[in-house]
Structure 1
Amino acid sequence: MIVATIRRIARLLEAASLALGALCLLYMVCVVGLNVLARIVFDATGTALNLMIPGAIEQVSYLLGIVALAGLTASLSHGMIAVDFLVARLPQRGQALVARFWFLVLLALALVLCWLFYEDMLATFARGEESQDLRIPMFLIYGLATLQSLALAVVALREMLISQGDHGEIA
Structure 2
Amino acid sequence: MMRSILERASHWLALVCRVIAGVALIAMLGVTIVDVATRYLDRLSDGAVAVTLLGSVELVSYLMLCSLLAAMAANVEKSQVVVEAFSHGLSPGFKHRLQGVYLLGFAALGLILCLGLVDSAAAAARHGEVTQDLRLPMGPIYTTAAVLSLLLGVRALIHALLGALFGAEGEVSHGE
Structure 1 counterpart SS, 2:75: helix
> C-alpha root-mean-square deviation of aligned residues, in Å?
2.3
Structure 2 match to 1:142: 142
Contact kept? 2:159, 2:169, Cα under 8 Å = no
Structure 1 counterpart SS, 2:29: helix
Contact kept? 1:14, 1:73, Cα under 8 Å = yes
Alpha-carbon distance in structure 2 between the residues aligned to 1:88 and 1:67: 35
TM-score by length of 2: 0.85
Which ranges of structure 1 fall in alignment gaps of 5 or more residues? none
Structure 1 match to 2:58: 58
Q: Which runs of 4+ in 1 moved over 6 A?
A: none
How far has the Cα of 1:137 moved from its partner? 0.8
Query: Structure 2 counterpart of 1:127, which letter?
Result: H
Once the two structures are superposed, what CA deviation does each residue of 1:68-90 show, in whole Å capped at 9, x if it has no partner?
0100111235x334152222432
Whether 2:76 is the aligned partner of 1:82: answer: no
How far has the Cα of 1:16 moved from its partner? 1.4
Whether 2:175 is the aligned partner of 1:170: answer: yes
Whether 2:119 is the aligned partner of 1:116: answer: no
Contact kept? 1:10, 1:151, Cα under 8 Å = no
Alpha-carbon distance in structure 2 between the residues aligned to 1:74 and 1:58: 24
Structure 2 match to 1:18: 18
Structure 2 counterpart SS, 1:115: helix
Once the two structures are superposed, what CA deviation does each residue of 1:40-70 show, in whole Å capped at 9, x if it has no partner?
1111222232222111110000111111010
Segment of structure 1 superposing worse, 67-76 or 94-103: 94-103
Once the two structures are superposed, what CA deviation does each residue of 1:1-56 show, in whole Å capped at 9, x if it has no partner?
66555444433322211111111100100110121121111112222322221111
Structure 1 match to 2:105: 105
Cα distance, 1:31–1:145 mapped onto 2, change above 3 Å: same
Query: Structure 2 counterpart of 1:80, which letter?
Result: S
Once the two structures are superposed, what CA deviation does each residue of 1:94-118 show, in whole Å capped at 9, x if it has no partner?
3123201221110011011001111
Contact kept? 2:73, 2:152, Cα under 8 Å = yes
Alpha-carbon distance in structure 2 between the residues aligned to 1:132 and 1:13: 33
Cα distance, 1:146–1:3 mapped onto 2, change above 3 Å: farther
TM-score by length of 1: 0.88
Cα distance, 1:166–1:13 mapped onto 2, change above 3 Å: closer
Structure 1 counterpart SS, 2:133: coil
Contact kept? 1:82, 1:169, Cα under 8 Å = no
